[in-house]
Structure 1
Amino acid sequence: MFIDVYAIQNVPPCNINRDDTGTPKTAIYGGALRARVSSQAWKRAMRESFPSMLGADELGVRTKKAVSLVADKITEVSPEMSERAMDYAEAVLKAAGVKVKESKRAGSDSGSPVTEYLLFISRSEIAKLADIAVNHFGAGEDPSSISKELKKEVSAAFHGTQALDIALFGRMLADSPDLNVDAAAQVAHAISVDKITQEYDFFTAIDDCVSEDNAGAAMIETNGFNSSTLYRYATVNVDSLLCQLGDVKAAACGARAFIEAFATSMPTGKQNSFANKTLPNALLVSIRNGGPINAVSAFEVPVRATADSSISHQAEEKLADSIRSFETSFGQSPKRAMWLATDGGGEQLRSYGEETDFVGMLAAVEDEVMAYGEGD
């Protein structure tokens, strides 16, 4: 079973996801320039909203400081091992195939061991690794020599029940593929349904303490920005989520949290300059027993506002019509389809599925996953 979630979201002048020049990211689609927000940026925003919905023990952390996190847990479990906790933590991570090096960053972290890359690791995995370290090195094993038994236990620690965000977004380590986790969710790059033009804001800053006979600016700069109506899409593989979390209730709550985070989060780039935090104008959810369907082709021809119809309203109607056309053409009718729209929706949305509010939509997603997981 798959859960497809679609959003039409109007965004005012903003620069929420920049390229290497500081300009908002774009893409050419249908021969027209579109605003773009990368999936990585939005997934980061979603992950940052999870702690308000779920407990810390259900989530992971992406960091180069995994050695310190494991060492802190070792000290917590066995205070008498605190003096060499970093050595023990480094040993168990190396046993997993994770490369560790000495930090070259200035400050208090200088010289401390860090992983060579960001490691997505769950709180439960940190606790398991600490317990393994205590059991082995507390018994007198030398951390400089990694036994086969240690490698076996460490590998098992990374193959238990996953944290929700790791299960959803996956984990990839080129040097240690045994630790890889296939993502249960896919998030598309958001693109605008309308053709955009990049714009630039020229601004100055004045020194408050400058002398009265100095009328010059203390700083002159430009900010790139654009405004658009975004099409956003993501899908969740429920079977994969159930398998990785190992619990029907956890998967149901996880699917609900994913939809909630998808709808309510936003990347924070230049947020203080533009105050561009908006919510979707329309949100559609299709629960399918077939494969997922990204209906982006609804916007291959850019949408333009008319005297009596906004871009957002036209986009939600075109989206609903496109989804139903794909379903009809390929015989992939959804198990359940729901929608909400701040403008009340039009003819196409109303024929797409059942109208609901956000709370009702979240509850319905949770119920559907529970019923599927329990075999109802």
Structure 2
Amino acid sequence: MNEMTRLYVDFHVIQTVPPSCINRDDTGSPKTALYGGVRRARVSSQSWKRAMRKMFNEDFQQANFGIRTKRISSLLVTEIRALQPTMDEEEALSLVEGFMKLCGISTKKKNDVEKTNVLFFISKTQIHNLAEYILAHKNAKDKNIKKEVKKLLSQNHSIDIALFGRMIVVSDKLNFNTDASAQVAHSISTHRVDNEYDYFTAIDDLAPEDNAGADMIGVVEFNSSTMYRYATMSVHTLVKELNGEKELAAAAVKEFAKAFIQSMPTGKQNTFANRTLPDAVLVTVRRDQPVNFVGAFESPVRTTDGGYAERSIQKLAEYANKIYTNYVDAPEHSWSIGMGDEQNNVNLKELLQSVHDALLEDLTNMVSSGQE
């Protein structure tokens, strides 16, 4: 791919997280990672992506979302009958069952509902196209059917499939996987972290007054930290997955940015109420490659005045300039919140709109100059 056809957006966030346990391991302890020789607080990419997807889905146009289901047979039957109203449900179901068998997709009926063995993530347009294909190939026994179906499911993606990807493995030889246009890194603290314990008790409201014992005893492990968070978006890939709809792609990146900046995983939310917003945000648009700045914190931040956020922001800015000097060019566009850069410093509303407008202009210029 020509370098001029590439377009990446990088998102960097410094965020202080108060005492909490927003992402736990199998023992209930806050997740951690060893980096730079010391133990760091960690929030997995899966955890934060779930929070992002929830916010993204609440704020974006619902018509552009896919469906997660094992009941794909029911969806196909409904769509087939919508395309051909004279066909009864039994005939439509028979067609779908034959289609599934030819594709090697296993199904089983439970409580009169036909379910696939794997969970499908599929767009409404893909359901429509599959239904049309089934009707056009009622008597198909073609060996190429798997190849043709895979082609149908590799285009017309919903926005969430294009952004976050899809993994559907039917067998060793058949999958309908889709690579994500967005990547989210595991968030780690910029400094060393030691976990602490919250010991709590509960008392029976109806217990006698002379009963001094607790009726329930528990311990919650937690930590607090200033975290570095990073995500990147391959905008040219997103546009391709969305069939060249550059306006939709630019709007999706804007909402992705908002979700990445404002979302918070909900683990132990009722216990800790840890709803914080970032201390600083840096968003850049590049054409060469994405660049993660986690190396700024390989040497853990140490503090003399009791806080980590200010020094973490300084180290992020210093490391970015070092990378721009030694390895890559400065970004084509850059916006920041709380970074102390007066030239590019904006508020969140301005940042989101600026990202949207700059990408839409870049994508339009790429199309007009034939660089798609």
TM-score range, shorter chain: 0.7 to 0.9
Query: Is the aligned partner of 1:60 residue 2:66?
Result: yes
Q: Quick one: distance in 2 between partners of 1:226 and 1:88?
A: 56
Alpha-carbon distance in structure 2 between the residues aligned to 1:303 and 1:251: 37
Match of 1:168 in 2: 163
For the structure 1 residues 152 and 354, does the alpha-carbon distance in structure 2 shift closer, same or farther, using more than 3 Å as the test? same
Q: Does the C-alpha gap of structure 1 residues 360 and 206 become closer, same or farther in structure 2, counting only changes over 3 Å?
A: same
- Judging changes above 3 Å, is the alpha-carbon distance between structure 1 residues 228 and 177 closer, same or farther for their aligned structure 2 residues? farther
- Which segment drifts farther, 15-24 or 156-165? 156-165
CA 1:227–1:330: 2 relative to 1, 3 Å: same
Alpha-carbon distance, 1:4 to partner = 0.5
Deviates more, 1:241-250 or 1:200-209: 200-209
Q: CA deviation at 1:166?
A: 1.1
Indicate if the aligned counterparts of 1:100 and 1:113 stay in contact, CA closer than 8 A: no
1:170-185 aligned within 5 A: 170-174=165-169, 175=171, 179-185=176-182
Aligned residue type for 1:184: S
With normalisation by structure 2, the TM-score equals: 0.85
Instruction: Tell me how large the CA RMSD over aligned residues is.
Output: 2.7
In structure 2, the CA distance between the partners of 1:168 and 1:209, relative to structure 1 (3 Å rule), is same
> Which of 31, 35, 39 lines up with 2:37 in the alignment?
31
Alpha-carbon distance between aligned partners in 2 of 1:62 and 1:373, rounded to the nearest angstrom: 30
Q: Residues of 2 paired with 1:119 and 1:278: CA distance?
A: 35
User: Number of paired residues?
Assistant: 356
Instruction: Find the residue that maps to 1:12 and give its secondary structure.
Output: strand
Shift of 1:85: 5.8
Q: Give the direction of change, closer, same or farther, for the CA distance of 1:133–1:260 in structure 2 (3 Å limit).
A: same
Q: Distance in 1 between matches of 2:101 and 2:16?
A: 47
> How do 1:69-108 residues align onto structure 2 when only pairs under 5 Å count?
69-74=75-80, 81-83=88-90, 88-93=95-100, 95-97=102-104, 99-102=105-108
Percent sequence identity over matched residues? Answer: 42
* 1:335 partnered with 2:325: no
Is the Cα contact below 8 Å between 1:188 and 1:234 reproduced in 2? yes
Distance, in Å, in 1 between the alignment partners of 2:45 and 2:224 is 18
Cα distance in structure 2, aligned partners of 1:95 and 1:207 = 62
- Contact in 2 for aligned 1:11/1:276 (Cα 8 Å): yes
Q: 1:75 & 1:66 partners in 2: Cα distance?
A: 14
| SS of 1:11 mapped into structure 2 | strand
Residues of 1 paired with 2:222 and 2:213: CA distance? 26
- The question of 1:20 aligning with 2:17 is answered no
| CA distance in structure 1 between the aligned counterparts of 2:37 and 2:324, rounded to whole angstroms | 26
Aligned to 1:158: 153
**1:241-280 counterparts in 2 under 5 A?**
241-246=238-243, 247-280=245-278
* Map of 1:106 onto structure 2: none
Deviations 1:70-122 (A, max 9, x none): 4454566667533566655555455555x43437xxxxx66744333333222
In structure 2, the gaps of 5 or more residues are 1-6, 367-372
**Structure 1 unaligned regions, length at least 5:** 104-108
Classify the secondary structure of the residue corresponding to 2:88: helix
Letter in 1 for 2:23: N
Letter of the 1:252 counterpart: A
Amino acid at match of 1:165: D
- Within 5 A, what are the aligned runs for 1:190-201? 190-201=187-198
